[in-house]
Amino acid sequence: MTLRRGLFFGSAPAGVAGALEALDQPRQDMFCDRTRRKRSVDPSAAHVDGLAHLAQDLEPVLGAEVAVGIDLLERGEVVFLPAIRAEAGLGTLTEWRQTQPFLGLRATLPRWYAAQYAAEITAAMTEQGDPHPGLFEAIEQLLTTLCTSEEVAGLLVAFQRILLEQAGLWPDLTRCVTCDLPAPEGRAAFYSAQQGGLVCRICQPKTQETRKIGAAVLAALREDHCDAETLPAVLDLLDYTIAHVIGRPTSLRKSPLI
């Protein structure tokens, strides 16, 4: 059996354990996305999968009084049996012990939506066998801070930046990524998530996907400092970038955060 600690992003009814995902394998840190023998994320995002089993299947091994229910967005330690065949990618979760429930996330809907969104994009933006210790620490800190903060959007923008930087996908905001023309400061610009940065006026008609960014929003992104006016637009633009990377809209579009 293997013992690991981690953050669980999925939910499980009483007696059901869920799928596991590890962002930081060297530190033995793990993430969980979905349960009920079913995952809604791209299989390429998975790190270590655990096939759900009912409580009665675990009682002969762990004892009848053990609690194996896993709630949304909590931290704990797991014991699981690795997959026999590596290509299958499925292991069996046998034990779970909660160590941090992040109860403050449940105090307000904005905190809860923000935490779920962070879990969603983290799972979608990471690959199997590609550990990110810095990203694990970042999302753990985000969940801790969200428990007591009312400034949800600013915390999400900071995490979006870390996620894109850790993935090597932070956009180039200094030049046209097509012709290398330097981008002047204090001006609006065209942005292409597909191209990975700014596009000048000359190259914009030849670029399939672009959107215009205001000068204030562009300055906020470059300086890593948002005010009340630019924060919603920055949050929306970074979510747009992440959605392009993962190939689908995120849950942020359906939440009251933007």
Could you report the per-residue pLDDT of 210-237, keeping only the tens digit for each?
A: 999 999 999 999 999 999 999 999 999 9
Domains of the chain, by residue range, sit at 2-101, 105-166, 172-254
DSSP states of 149-216: -S-HHHHHHHHHHHHHHHTT---EEEEETTT-PBPPTTS-EEEETTTTEEE-TTTGGG-SS-EEE-HH
* Closest among 98, 226, 69 to 158, alpha carbons compared: 226
Q: In whole angstroms, how far apart are CA 87 and each of 82, 113, 119, 226?
A: 12, 34, 25, 45
Which has more pLDDT, 75 or 105?
105
Which has more pLDDT, 35 or 8?
8
Cα(154)–Cα(85) distance, rounded to whole angstroms? Answer: 43
Could you report the per-residue pLDDT of 29-69, keeping only the tens digit for each?
A: 334 333 332 232 333 333 333 333 333 343 444 444 444 46
Cα(44)–Cα(227) distance, rounded to whole angstroms? Answer: 36
